[in-house]
A and B are shown apart, each in its own frame.
Chain A
Amino acid sequence: MWSRDLDDQIREALSQEIEAARPELEGLEERVISALATRLAKPSIWQRLRQLFLPGMTPRWAFAGGIALALALGFIIGRLITPSPTPLSSYAQAGTLFAVVDPGAQSVAVVGDFSAWQPVPLSDPDGDGVWTAVLNLPPGRYEYAFVVDGRWIGQDPLADEYVRSFGDYASVRYVGSGGGA
C-alpha cells in the first residue's frame, strides 16, 4: 500500500468514526444555549472568589500576578527536568552524512523513516555553522528532512531526489551497501 492509498484509507477511517457520532450530536445547539443561559444567570466561581478575596484588584493585575508565579515555577521545574540531548557518539562514526549549513541556527535535527521520524540531533561543536550527523544506515531508500529551529527543511542539497508529502517536500537518499549515500 503506497502512501497515497494509505492517506485515503486513513481519511476514510476518520470520516466513518466522526460520521457515526452524528445522531448523538442532534440537539446540541439547544443544550448549549440552555447551559449558557443557566450559567449567565449567576456569577461564576471566579467572579465570586474575586469579590471575596480581591475586592480592589482588577482582573488584569490578578491575572498578571498569577502568570508571573506560574512562569517562575515553570522555570524552576523546567531546569530540573530538561533532559540532555542524545550525544553524537551514540551513532556510528562512519556512514551516511547529514549536514546543514546555518550559522544562525540554535538547534538542528534530522528526522526520517530511519528514525521513525523522531529527531536525531545534528551537532556543531566548533561553532562554524556547519551542523552534522553521521548515521550508520543499512542499505535502502530513506525519506528524511531537517528541522532547523522548528522549521521544516525538506530539500537537502545532498539528496538523491525529493518527494511531496503532507503538502511539503521531503528528501530521499539511497544508501548503498557501503553505508554511504
Chain B
Amino acid sequence: MHEKEHPNEKIGVYVCHCGSNIAGTVDVEDVAKWAAEQLKHRGVVIARDYKFMCSSLGQELIEKDIKELGLTRVVVAACSPHLHELTFRTACKNAGLNPYLCELVSIREQCSWVHTNRTAATEKSKAIIAGGVERVIWHEPLTPLKVPIHPATLVVGGGIAGIQAALEIADAGYPVYLVEREPSIGGHMAQFDKTFPTLDCSACILTPKMVLAGTHPNITLISWAEVTHVDGYVGNFQVTIKQKPRYVNTELCNGCGICQEKCPKKVIDDIFEAGLGNRKAVYTPFPQAVPRYPVIDRENCTYFQKGTCRACEKFCPTNAIDFTQKEELLQMDVGQIILATGYDLFDPRRIPQYGYGRLANVFTSLEFERLTNAAGPTGGKIVLRDGVTVPKTVGIVHCVGSRDKNYNNYCSSICCMQSLKFAHLAEERTGAEVYNFYIDMRTPAKSYDEFYQRVLEEGTHFIRGRVASISDAARNPGEEGKLIIQVEDTLIGKQRRIPVDMVILSAGLEPRRDHKETARLFGLSCSADGWLIERHPKLDPVATMTEGILIAGCVQGPKDIPASVVQGAAAAARVLGKIQQKEVTMEPIRATVDQDKCSGCRICNNLCPFNAILFHADRAVSEVNPALCQGCGTCVAACPAGAISGTGFSDQQVLSQIEGLLMLNVRQLEAVPA
C-alpha cells in the first residue's frame, strides 16, 4: 500500500564531511559507497561525499548532477534541517528541481556529534540515509503559500529595548502598538541615575526617547495594559489586550499633577522606588512619565476601599477623574510581534546569610540606584536607612544570585560594571571608603575596562572572594554598630572581616516572575534558566522559532543598555524587512481532506486548535481551511478513514522513512538463521 516497489525516481545522495565534524566519527566514504550500491534498487543513481556540502562548490555539485543526470530527488546527509534545509532546497531550485523534492537528514547533530563508536555511528548514518531515501521517494513538488502581511506591529514592553524597536518601526512609516504593563514606559532604565561607563544621566538620555514614543504619530501607546490572548500566525495575528482602568479620563486630563498633591493616601512604592519611597494612591511613577496621565491604584485608594474621600475628583481642574471606568478588552490585528518584557531583579532575601530585609543597611542594587537618583526618595543623597547618616564605609557585593549553583548558574553580565559605577558614585558623593567583593571582574565591552582602571585609581578596594556572610555581631570594639562582611580573600589566602556602614548587594537579573505564562501566551520556549530561546544563539539572536515573533532586550538574557538597544533595533529591522515584502511566505505544510474518502464523522473537527476544519453539513464532509491550518497533523493522525493527508509529512513519507531506518536491521535479521 505504501511501498513503491519499483521507484521511477532518480535519487542523488550527498554525504557531507563537515570538515571533521562528521568525517571524524563517521566513515563518510563508506557511507556514500554503501548508498550507491545498496540503495541502487531504490532509485539512487549517484552518491557522493564531499568536504563541505553547504559550500558553493558543494551546492554546485548537486546542481550539476540534477542537470546532467536528471535527478528527480535529492537527499543530503549533513547537519540539522534547522540549519541548512533552506540552503539545499535553494540549490535544487536553482537547478530547476522543486525545492521540496530535497530531504536533508541529520548525521551530525544526531549522529557524529553524539556518538563515539565509529562503526556504530557509520551504521547509524547508513540507516538515517536509507530512511531519507525512502521518504524522499514520496515527496511531492510543493509551492510555498503566500499570505499578505498586516503592516502593524505589536511591541510588548516599554523599556529601552521596546521603545527603540517601536521608534525604528514608526520612523520607517509603519504603525506600532506599544503595550506597557506599568502606568508609564521607561522600564528599569528610568529608575537609574547614571549609566556606565560614561556616567551619562540615565533620564537625560532616556526621556527624549520616551517623549518621542509617546507623541509619535505612528505609535499607539497603550500603558497600564497587558496582552491576554494571541491568535493567528505571522502576518496576521489577532491580539487581545486588557486595558486596566486608570480611573482618569485621558482625553480630559492634562497631567497637571494636582490630584497627586491632594491625594491624602501615601503608599510605599515597591516598583519604581524599589520600596524606598512613597507615592500616592493616584500617581504617575515619576515626574517625566509617558504618558503623563496618572492612574488610581484601586487597592490603596480610600474611595474604593471605604467609599469616601474623592479628593482627587474635587480638585481636578478638568474633571478628568472617572471612578466608573471599567476594564476594557482591546482587539487588534498585527502582522508581527516584538517581545521586550525585560527582567526582574533577583530577590536577595533568598540568600539569608546576606541579611537583606533583616539588616537595615543592606541595600539591593536597585535601591542604591534610587538613592543616588536626584529624583529619588532622598533627592540623590546617599544615606543609610535612617535617612540622615552618610556612610563612611561601603561594601559592594558582586554576583548576588549569579554564578552560584544554588541560585543561578549564569553571569548576569551587568553587575561588575554596575558595581564599579556604584563604587565611583559612593566615593565621589560621600568620600566613603569603598570595598568591592568580586569573584572575577568582567568588563568586556567598549570603554568598560578603562572605567575599571579609573575606579581602581580612585582608591576603591577590590577583594577577590565570594562573601560568606554579612552580620551585625561584633567581635571587637572596632566592629560595634557596623555590618561585618566575612570573606575569604583568595588573593592572599586569608579569611577577612571587613566592617562597613552600608552594604550594596549587586543582585543578578532573572527572568520575569511570569515568564512561563508569557512564553505560553506567545507560543515560545524558555531555556532552563527561563530566558526566551532565540532561533539561533549566534546568528539569529532576535528571531524565535515562531515566525513573526521576535525578542529584544533582557527577555532573551541578561544584557546592558547598549545591547538592549541593539536588539530592539535589530528586531525592528527584521519586522520592516518583512513588511516591505508585503506578503509572507509560509511553509506549505498543510492538511487536506480527500472529500471522496471523508465519511463526515467529524472526529477531526474538535481536534483543531485553530478552528481550521469546517464541516459542510449539506455534503456531510469536512474541509480544511489552508489559511488557518498550521500543519501540526493531529487531524491526519486521527482520521479513521485515512481521508486527511498532510503535505510534507504524509503517512507514506513517515511509514517509508520508518522502513528505511530499519532496512539494515531487517537484512541482518534475515541473514541470521532463525
Instruction: Say whether A associates with B.
Output: no
Residues on A lying within 8 angstroms of B by beta carbon are none
